[in-house]
Amino acid sequence: MPPSRAAEPLTGTNHAVPDQAATPKTSQEWFQDLAQDAWRRGQAAMAAGDMDDALRWLERAHRIGPRDAAVALALATVRLRLGAFAEAASLLDDVVGRHDLREAWLTLAVVRRGLADPAGAAVALAQALSRHVLPDEAGIAALADAVAAEAGLPGWCGLRADGHVAAMVPDGAKAKLSVDGMRLAPGARVPDTAAAADVTVGGRALLGSPLAVAQIRRIEGVVAVRDGGLEGWAWHPGDPDADPVLTVRSAAGKALFTLTADDTRMLAPGPLARPRRFHVPASRFARLAGAVRVTGRDGRDLLGSPLTPGAEQSRAADAARAVAALFPAAGRRRHAGGSDAAPTD
Express each pLDDT in 97-155 by its tens digit.
999 999 999 999 999 999 999 999 999 999 999 999 999 888 899 999 999 999 999 99
Domain CATH number, residue 302: 2.60.40.10
> What is the percentage of the chain residues whose pLDDT exceeds 70?
83
Q: Does some domain include residue 250?
A: yes
CA gap 176, 143 in Å, rounded? 23
86 belongs to a structural domain: no
Within-domain flag for 310: yes
CB count in 10 Å sphere of residue 260: 13
CA dist list (Å): 112 to 124, 156, 241: 8, 18, 26
Q: What is the DSSP string of 151-219?
A: TT-S-EEEE-TTSBEEEE--TT---EEEETTEEE-TTPBPPTT---EEEEETTEEPBTPSB-HHHHH--
Q: CA 328 to CA 95: how far, in whole Å?
A: 66
Question: How many structural domains are present in the chain?
Answer: 1
Helix (H) or strand (E) holding 94: helix 85-98
Q: pLDDT averaged over the chain? A: 86
Q: Quick one: residue 310, left, alpha or beta (phi over 0 = left, psi -120 to 50 = alpha)?
A: alpha
Domain contains 271 = yes
How confident is the model over 250-269, as a mean pLDDT? 92
Please indicate, yes or no, if residue 125 is contained in any of the structural domains: no
Number of neighbouring beta carbons within 10 Å of residue 204 = 11
Range of the domain at 318: 218-326
334 found inside a domain: no
pLDDT over 70 (residue 338): no
pLDDT reported for residue 272: 83
The residue type of 313 is Q
Judge whether 4 lies within some domain: no
| Cβ contact 71:35 at 8 Å | yes
pLDDT digits (tens, 9 = 90+) for 63-101: 999 999 999 999 999 999 999 999 999 999 999 999 999
